[in-house]
A and B are shown apart, each in its own frame.
Chain A
Amino acid sequence: AQSVTQPDIHITVSEGASLELRCNYSYGATPYLFWYVQSPGQGLQLLLKYFSGDTLVQGIKGFEAEFKRSQSSFNLRKPSVHWSDAAEYFCAVGGAAGNKLTFGGGTRVLVKP
């Protein structure tokens, strides 16, 4: 069975500081990995996705993520956070195109001025 763990429920970071959100997955085949962001009261927006190739993936809003197969991880990073990055972030894993995704429990990011 596939699963996703996001160890950090809450993270507080100062504006301008770097951010890293952890994601560990369990999947029996080649994983397809995703990061989504959700602002309060909104739907989820895709930040980036990884299928194959370069293990460092660039996304929207200045985010990037690195796939590490040996560690079953897909951590999300941003070098310098902005107040607008305060939101909840979800990591997800899936299989072939069209298959359902399994989501982690989410990490809520608070940004201090």
Chain B
Amino acid sequence: SQTIHQWPATLVQPVGSPLSLECTVEGTSNPNLYWYRQAAGRGLQLLFYSVGIGQISSEVPQNLSASRPQDRQFILSSKKLLLSDSGFYLCAWTDRVDYGYTFGSGTRLTVV
């Protein structure tokens, strides 16, 4: 069966520090991968999506970047965090057969 792993679960980082969040999917190949962010009390904002290795589409220009170095690995990064980067980050995947997303358990990022 397919599973999605996201880590770390929680992270507290100072302003100006770098960020790396990782998401991996098991049990499938060539998935579409997504990064979403939930700010406090707000809905889901799509940040990046990828349809293949090295292929990244950015939905919202910001302080973050994404990379897909392997088929089932999706990484969210920042060189210098801002206070406004705080939020709940969710990774999701879908394949080209089924419909809808499967979400990871999320990372709670607090920038202090």
Q: Which residues of A contact B (CB under 8 A)?
A: 32, 34, 36, 41-46, 49, 51, 90, 92, 94, 97-98, 100-101, 103-106
Contact = CB atoms under 8 A, between A and B. Distances in A.
B74 interface: no
Contacts of A98: 32, 51, 94-96
A42 B107 CA distance: 9
A43 B6 CA distance: 10
Contacts of A34: 99-100
Contacts of B88: 41
Interface of B: 6, 32, 34, 42-44, 46, 49, 51, 88, 90, 92, 94-106, 108
Given A43-B103, A51-B99, 19 more contacts: A34-B100, A36-B103, A41-B108, A42-B105, A43-B104, A44-B90, A44-B103, A49-B100, A90-B44, A94-B99, A97-B96, A97-B98, A98-B95, A98-B96, A100-B46, A101-B101, A103-B43, A103-B44, A106-B44
A43 B103 CA distance: 6
Q: Which of B43, B98, B104 has the most CB of A within 10 A?
A: B43
Contact of A97 (B94, B102, B103, B104): B94
A43 B49 contact: no
23 contacts: A41-B106, A41-B108, A43-B104, A43-B105, A44-B90, A44-B92, A46-B101, A46-B102, A49-B100, A51-B99, A90-B43, A94-B99, A97-B94, A97-B95, A97-B96, A98-B51, A98-B94, A98-B96, A101-B101, A104-B43, A105-B42, A105-B43, A106-B44
